[in-house]
Structure 1
Amino acid sequence: MPIPDDVTGDEIDPDVRQELMSLPKGLAEDVARNLVMVAQLIDEDPEKAYEYSRIALRLASRVAAVREAAGFAAYATQKYSEALAEFRAARRMTGSVELWPVMADCERGLGRPERALAMAGEPEVQKLDKAGQVEMRLVAAGARRDMGQLDAAIVTLQSPELASSANHPWTARLRYAYADALLAAGREREAREWFAKALEADKDGSTDASDRLAELDGVEFVDAFDDSDEENGQDDADDLDEDDDLDERDEQDGDKG
């Protein structure tokens, strides 16, 4: 697949570059450039990112970073079985538990929330950093909701991290998940409060908390310019053109007279 000339492969994380040093230089550069394309496209065009990840995988399947990237690309395209296989392979290679929460979420994606809950209770969770533990809590709450256990999902999200006034990278998403669970349980007043708190912490717009708040407040957004406006504008322009033509003909008739 085509890769822009300005993508050199040097853009990748230094740790990944270190892993690729086990490959021949030319091959390492090819893999690195494909991994850069995965990173650049995974949010805006996950299907294309997935295609680049498959190329990197064919070139260097024994590199853990490549297996991980392939896993995230498959996850982004909802290929959960494939993603889980890649994450497991990466974990075997590195021994790290970092991917444990996303592996559990793949189980949810495969319709096995009970497995995700079982993973939430495994010793690996205690080895995760704070961000990973919060992510695992979000996955566990999602699994509870999958199983129709709304009250249990709400309780799962109640934690020191939720109560904290500090703003961390996970704060907005945690508050948002709590608000959404409250709303699903019919606790609208509390849900509105937590959507507002999520919005307050959401500095980079990672959630749609503002839209959810607007819905709860009965605010309806209307496009300032829609197709009907464009059509009306074109009709007005056509009318003006017709008027100009009539004026021009009147002037010509007057000259003839």
Structure 2
Amino acid sequence: MPIPEDVTGEEIDKDVRQELQSLPKGLAEDVAKNLVMVARLIDEDPEGAYGYSKVALRLASRVAAVREAAGFAAYANQKYSEALAEFRAARRMTGNVDLWPVMADCERGLGRPEKALDMAGAPEVSKLDKAGQVEMRLVAAGARRDMDQLDAAIVTLQSPELAAGSVQPWTARLRYAYADALLAAGREAEAREWFAKAAEADKDGSTDASDRLAELDGVEFVDALDEDEDEDENENEGDETPPQPSSEDGEED
């Protein structure tokens, strides 16, 4: 796959670059460039990212960072079985538990929420950092919802991190998930309160909390372009010339 000229491979994280030092220099550069493309495209063009991840995997399948990138690219394309296999491979290589929550979410994607819940109660969770533990809580709540256990999902999300006043990278998503679970359980007033809190914490637009809040408040958004087109149509209708009487009805030249 073609690599844009502005991609040098130097853009990757220094830890990843250090991993690639085990490869010959030219090969390491090629792998790095493909990993940069995965990171660049994964949100806006998941299929493109997946293509670059397969190239990197073909070049350096024994590098943990490559297996991890391939896992995330597969995950972004909802190829959960493939993603889980790559995450497991990366974990075997590093012994790191950081991928535990996304591995559990792959189990959900494969229709195995019970397995995701088993993972949420495993010893590995205690080794996760705070962000990882919050992510695991989100996955566990999602698994409860998969099993139609709405009240259990709500309880799962009730935590010190949810109640904290300070805004952390996970705050908006945690509050949003809680609001969504409340709404699914029919607790609309509480849901509205938490969608508002999620919107307040969501500085980078990672959720659609503001839209959900507006929807609950009965606000309808009108596309300005559509509105202008409607006005033009109305004006044109008003300018139509009324039909003139025919000169053929009994009139002679």
Q: Common fold, TM-score beyond 0.5?
A: yes
| 2:27 equivalent in structure 1 | 27
Matches within 5 A, 1:208-227: 208-226=208-226
Deviations 1:135-155 (Å, cap 9, x if unpaired)?
000000000000000000000
CA distance in structure 2 between the partners assigned to 1:226 and 1:40 by the alignment:
33
Q: Does 1:173 align with 2:173?
A: yes
| 2:51 equivalent in structure 1 | 51
Q: How far did 1:66 drift?
A: 0.2
| 1:72 equivalent in structure 2 | 72
Q: Structure 1 pair 180/94, CA: closer, same or farther in 2 (3 Å)?
A: same
| 1:5 equivalent in structure 2 | 5
Q: Structure 1 pair 231/59, CA: closer, same or farther in 2 (3 Å)?
A: farther
| 2:135 equivalent in structure 1 | 135
CA distance in structure 2 between the partners assigned to 1:114 and 1:44 by the alignment:
31
Question: What amino acid is aligned across from residue 16 of structure 1 in structure 2?
Answer: V
CA distance in structure 2 between the partners assigned to 1:171 and 1:54 by the alignment:
33
Q: Does 1:122 align with 2:122?
A: yes
What TM-score does the superposition give when structure 2 sets the normalisation length?
0.91
Q: Structure 1 pair 71/204, CA: closer, same or farther in 2 (3 Å)?
A: same
CA distance in structure 1 between the partners assigned to 2:219 and 2:79 by the alignment:
37
Q: How far did 1:226 drift?
A: 2.8
Q: How far did 1:230 drift?
A: 8.5
Unpaired segments of 5 or more residues in structure 2? Answer: 240-253
| 1:195 equivalent in structure 2 | 195
Q: How far did 1:229 drift?
A: 1.3
Question: What amino acid is aligned across from residue 140 of structure 1 in structure 2?
Answer: A
Q: How far did 1:227 drift?
A: 9.2
Count of aligned positions: 236
- What is the percent sequence identity of the aligned residues? 86
Q: Structure 1 pair 195/7, CA: closer, same or farther in 2 (3 Å)?
A: same
Q: How far did 1:228 drift?
A: 8.0
CA distance in structure 2 between the partners assigned to 1:230 and 1:218 by the alignment:
22
Structure 1 residue ranges, 4+ long, deviating more than 2 angstroms after superposition = 230-233
CA distance in structure 2 between the partners assigned to 1:83 and 1:165 by the alignment:
35
The structure richer in helix per residue is: 1
Q: Secondary structure at the match of 1:21?
A: helix
CA distance in structure 1 between the partners assigned to 2:148 and 2:230 by the alignment:
46
